[in-house]
Structure 1
Amino acid sequence: MGMRVRLWLTLPRKDGSSIEVKQVVCRTILSMENSTNDDPQPVIKQENYGQPEDNCSMTNAWKVIGGKWKLLLLNAIRQECPARFGALRKKMQDITQTTLTAQLRELERDGIISRKAYAESPPKVEYQLTELGQTLIPVMQVLSDWGDNYCQVIKFNP
């Protein structure tokens, strides 16, 4: 079973013209396993997705990447790849350690990032985007471009 992400957007440019993103489609397999632990488990529990009450693709996507920190965290992991916990903590100074840990665990559980722990002292843990997580890179880029354009519009139209 796969997941399909489609985007149809027209983005305004700073010079007044626009760019049209016809379609970005990403297909991924939802039966991946988390092999970072000794006991591999499915990373996505199918019963949590696609229920009749959650018939909206946007709702399902928001369950995985929604929240105050997740997209910023994913962008930081993408830039640092592989990213260590301490580096993420420094880069995202306003997030508490508890919240950072919780967000990382949720993203790992959902198959968006992988966690690799090294048997060292002091402990060393690295995070990186999985193949499924890498399908979010175009989405993050579109959101970043939109944010740039939004700032320009607000700057000239307060």
Structure 2
Amino acid sequence: MPRPKKESLCDDIAGNGCGLKKVLNIVGGKWKIMILCVIDNRETVRYGDLRRAVYGITNTMLAQSLKELESDGLVKRIQYDEMPVRVEYSLTHKASTMIPILLELKKWGEANL
């Protein structure tokens, strides 16, 4: 009896159609998942609070990561017309659907690393 074909993580690792490659391009790197975790925990977070919560991140890296997460549709940025200017970040629905997957990765890491 032939075995059912195993689903491949990526048929074409270098190809642009690989879903796993797309995800890693968006949330890969040292800081982005940590930023998503902080925003998920607090639901809405201001820049300064985020900077203090993500230990070791520079202002430049935080600003760049937030811009990329926003342009990729994972983080929503709301700027209030106040003085001083107040900016808040929250997860989009798209990012919220990724949280259960990140929780599974966390559990795997706790069990295996």
Q: Specify if TM > 0.5.
A: yes
TM-score range, shorter chain: 0.7 to 0.9
- Residue deviations 1:91-141, cap 9 Å, x none? 012000000000000000000010000111222111111111111111111
TM-score, with normalisation over the residues of structure 1?
Answer: 0.60
Please state if 1:73 is matched with 2:27. Answer: no
Partner residue, 1:106: 68
Please state if 1:59 is matched with 2:2. Answer: no
Between the aligned residues of both structures, percent identity stands at: 37
Q: Over the residues paired in the alignment, what is the CA RMSD in angstroms? A: 1.6
User: Runs (4+) of structure 1 moved beyond 3 Å?
Assistant: none
Number of residue pairs the alignment of both structures matches? 101
Partner residue, 1:115: 77
TM-score, with normalisation over the residues of structure 2?
Answer: 0.83
- Secondary structure of the 1:125 match is strand
Deviation at 1:150, TM superposition (A): 2.5
Please state if 1:140 is matched with 2:102. Answer: yes
- Secondary structure of the 1:54 match is coil
- Residue deviations 1:56-110, cap 9 Å, x none? 1111111111111011110011011101101100101200000000000000000
* Structure 1: gaps spanning 5 or more residues: 1-7, 9-51, 152-158
**Which structure has the highest strand share of the two?**
1
